[in-house]
Structure 1
Amino acid sequence: MADYKFQTSLKSTHEEATKVPDFASEIQDQASLSDEETSTFMLLLSEAVDNAIKHGNQYDPEKNVSVDIEISKSEIVARVSDEGVGFDTDNPISKNPLDEENLLDTGGRGIFIIQELSDSFEFLNNGSTLQFKINRKS
């Protein structure tokens, strides 16, 4: 059961994406997150929102990105949803950015970072929602 719930909606623009750090800081204050939890959460949330704006909504300012956060004593759960068409979640397009042939590619780092730093993540709603979890240190 969540002790705290937070929501926000952002237009699909670069300017709106810059609001994520302030949103995460507000959550830190209200939910008493540690600095380490907040920095990981902020990075993952920023990557998820950026992906939703770029890949899901394709920078269409008429489309929104919805962010839902639930925080309990044991975990932080974030769901970031876009208004795009989704994708085949059984075959996500994801290359390892650390592989030599991908080092100079500018894409593909967001999902890799989320996968590496979250305790779990999954795509929901035909790929138009990304959910990640961070286990909290008691």
Structure 2
Amino acid sequence: MKPFKLKIPSITDNLRIVESFIDQARDELSFNDDIYGNIMIAVTESVNNAIIHGNQNNKEKNVHISLSIDDHNIAFVIEDEGSGFDFSDLPDPTAPENIDKPGGRGIFLIRNLADEVHFHEGGNKVEIVFYING
């Protein structure tokens, strides 16, 4: 299997390229349509976070996306060139005191759509895993 890797400048319009990347991977790897929507939302949300929060919309910085697949999992790794963040202390956007706050929903959404989410490298690298075949 050829590696699925993508590098994009930090411009939010490039999310269309990420969507095409996911579509191409689905076509070539034939992963289950049941998780396709979850993958599309979780990965594009993660890339959007990398562009806006990680790389501060600096188009000189890139977001790196890779995909790996085995018999049990599809894993996406999204890495930005920013300084990271403290992923261990994220507020719950569903808590009453946070309901009206505009931020904080992206990672909550990613965690609820994916089977596993792992942050690395001080928060500027995230691995999003989806289980396949059961």
- Give the TM-score, by structure 1 length: 0.89
- Residue identity matched to 2:22: A
Give the distance between the partners of 1:28 and 1:73, measured in 2 at CA.
15
The verdict on how the C-alpha distance between 1:72 and 1:4 changes in structure 2, with shifts beyond 3 A counting, is farther
The reply to whether residue 20 of structure 1 matches residue 18 of structure 2 is yes
Between the two proteins, what is the percent identity of the paired residues?
32
- Residue identity matched to 2:60: E
Give the one of 51, 58, 76 matched to 1:53: 51
User: CA offsets, 1:22-60, max 9 Å, x none?
Assistant: 111111100001211211111110111011011100100
1:5 Cα shift? Answer: 3.0
Give the distance between the partners of 1:88 and 1:24, measured in 2 at CA.
28
What SS class does the counterpart of residue 43 from structure 1 fall into?
helix
Larger CA deviation: 44-53 vs 4-13? 4-13
1:4 Cα shift? Answer: 5.7
Give the distance between the partners of 2:80 and 2:69, measured in 1 at CA.
21
Give the distance between the partners of 1:82 and 1:97, measured in 2 at CA.
23
Give the distance between the partners of 1:32 and 1:123, measured in 2 at CA.
27
Give the distance between the partners of 1:97 and 1:4, measured in 2 at CA.
39
- Residue identity matched to 2:119: F
Give the distance between the partners of 2:21 and 2:32, measured in 1 at CA.
15
Give the distance between the partners of 1:106 and 1:76, measured in 2 at CA.
30
The verdict on how the C-alpha distance between 1:40 and 1:12 changes in structure 2, with shifts beyond 3 A counting, is same
1:1-138 superposed matches below 5 A: 5-89=3-87, 91-92=88-89, 94-138=90-134
Question: Unaligned 5+ residue runs, structure 1?
Answer: none
- Give the TM-score, by structure 2 length: 0.91
- Residue identity matched to 1:105: K
Structure 1: 4+ residue segments shifted above 3 A: none
Q: What number of residue pairs does the alignment pair up?
A: 134
